[in-house]
Structure 1
Amino acid sequence: MPLPLTALVCGLVAGGITWAATPALDRLIGETTTWTTRGTHVLLGALGGLAAGLLDRGPGETIALAGTAVGLALAVTADLAVHRLPDRLTVPTATWILLCWLTLCLTGAPWPQLGRAVLAGLVLGAAFLLLCLLTPGGLGLGDAKLAAVLGLLLGWFGWLEVLAGVLGAFLLGGLFAVVLLLTRRAGRRTAVAFGPWLAAGAACSLAGAPLLLG
């Protein structure tokens, strides 16, 4: 299948699944918010699926990334709406990623790749948990869990992707916070959802690492 068509199909399928999940997302959030009524999650899911197809990582990895885009779109929307990253979203997303990587290994991918992914998930989860404990009121446990999920995702591709994803998240999140402060739309104690920046950092890592590697 031509790459543009693959990307289009992935985008449509991912967007369609996130749209179908709207009632469940509203129940999980506990209310109907403008984030869901405006279709934020659908747009994010469709864009994530489209990007998964354009990355051209191979059929198995493309399916894994497109499915992950659905989970991340729902989780990010929940975080934007109520500043929570529910386990009912992060756990299934992690399970999906793990099952995809396990399937790829059973069909010929190197097993050390899976080991690296699991290790990266554990390392990021532990590191962000430590940050949660050291900075009360800053990062939350949901952020630590999402970091573990993204470590499991990025670790499959390499440690460069893991590092780039983390640095990208803090850079993008930091720049956004500075903009809010400069425009006086937020104060120093204003809570800012970090989940979207973790997801954005991971996306930038997957898109940019191949360029860095030449």
Structure 2
Amino acid sequence: MVVGIAIALVGALCGPALARGVYQMSVDADTPARHRCGHCGVRLPDGWIRFALWPGRCGACRGPLGPRVWLVAPVAAVGGFVVGHRLGNDPVTLSFLVFALGCVLLAFIDLAVRRLPDQLTAPLAVLGVVGLGTASYLGRDMTPLLRGLIAAALAGGLFLGLAWVRPDGEGMGLGDAKLAAVLGLFLGYLGWRDLVLGMLAGTFSAALFAVVMMRMGRMDRKSALTYGPFLLLGAFFAVLVG
């Protein structure tokens, strides 16, 4: 519990930087990241301190930029707590913390522009292979890493197949398949139960949300659904209760 609270604090402190990252990367495909205010065009301040102290507003016109920091920080704190509560002082905790913060970025970006940038999913995949591989090597047991790699292939392949079923952009996308592979790597490292629970929880939550929205008249059977945040929610749930 103590480790969970400590890492939750780290996640919360990363909230402003994550909120700025969401604003800068919430752009269309093949479009460079934002470096200017979308309201007045003033260039965003540089430097890591500016990221850490990001207020969520333009310093010149005071216009809101991206998601509110007070919303991103608690989500990052929850992610940190889940990681710390599950893994404690395990050497792999650092890799899972970076993974959790990356998932927060991906979730907010997907909600904003319905895409999961390769600039984030690819580094998370590399982080998983290197970080989890190092932890397995130090623990003199490569089984968790091998299981994670197999799980990544299975999850990524499954969602890639779902993306092919409806290639019109209304169903699963290639970004969802790549995300599923990354989630499979990390959840598979923890165990097969975590993988199955995470995938099922994410899919079920997406289906439940769609049903509720259709009952409320805010969606129909042809409406596009953003799957990424639900897949990430399922993964966090699996890490918490697995």
- Common topology (TM > 0.5): yes
**Residue correspondences, number:** 206
Q: Indicate conservation of the 8 Å contact 2:136/2:142, yes or no.
A: yes
Question: What's the secondary structure of 1:192's corresponding residue?
Answer: coil
| Aligned match of 1:139 | 172
For 1:11, the equivalent position in structure 2 comes to 8
Partners of 2:119 and 2:197 in 1: how far apart? 27
Unaligned runs of 5+ in 2: 28-33, 39-63
Aligned to 1:212: none
1:27-42 matches, within 5 Å, as 27-30=24-27, 36-37=67-68, 39-42=70-73
The correspondence of residues 152-171 of structure 1 with structure 2, limited to 5 A, is: 152-171=185-204
AA at the equivalent of 2:153: L
For residues 24-53 of structure 1, the C-alpha deviation after alignment (integer angstroms, 9 at most, x for no partner) is 332211377876135443332111001111
> 2:76 is matched with which residue: 27, 30, 45?
45
Residue 198 in structure 1 maps to residue 198 in structure 2: no
Tell me the distance in 2 between the aligned counterparts of 1:185 and 1:97. 38
Q: Which structure is higher in helix share?
A: 1
Specify the SS of the correspondent of 1:128. helix
Gap change, CA 1:200 and 1:62, over 3 Å in 2? same
Q: Which amino acid is 2:86 matched to?
A: L
Distance 2:157 2:180 in 1: 9
2:220 alignment partner, one of 187, 195, 210: 187
**Match of residue 142 from structure 2:** 111
Q: Do 1:18 and 1:74's aligned partners in 2 also have CA atoms closer than 8 Å?
A: no
Residue in 1 that maps onto 2:152? 121
More displaced, 21-30 or 6-15?
21-30
Q: Does 2:103 match 1:72?
A: yes
8 Å Cα contact 1:101/1:114 also seen in 2:
yes
Check conservation: 2:133, 2:145, Cα contact below 8 A.
yes
Report the counterpart of residue 25 of structure 1 in structure 2: 22
CA contact (8 A) 1:60 1:100 kept: no
- RMSD of equivalent CA atoms: 1.9
Identity of aligned residues (%): 32
Quick one: distance in 1 between partners of 2:72 and 2:125? 18
User: Could you say which structure has the larger radius of gyration?
Assistant: 2
Q: In 2, Cα distance between the equivalents of 1:13 and 1:96?
A: 19
Paired residues of 2:83 and 2:240 also in contact (CA < 8 A): no
1:165-201 deviation per Cα after TM superposition (whole angstroms, max 9, x unaligned) = 1111111111111111111122222222111111111
Query: Aligned pair in 2 of structure 1 residues 88, 42: CA closer, same or farther (>3 Å)?
Result: farther
Kept in 1: contact 2:16–2:72 (CA 8 A): yes
- For residues 224 and 183 of structure 2, what CA distance do their matches in structure 1 show? 22
Partner of 2:58: none
1:62–1:84 Cα change, 3 Å: same
Query: How many angstroms apart in 2 are the aligned matches of 1:26 and 1:72?
Result: 15
Q: So what's the TM-score if we normalise by structure 2?
A: 0.78
CA positional deviation for 1:8:
2.2
Distance 2:89 2:69 in 1: 33
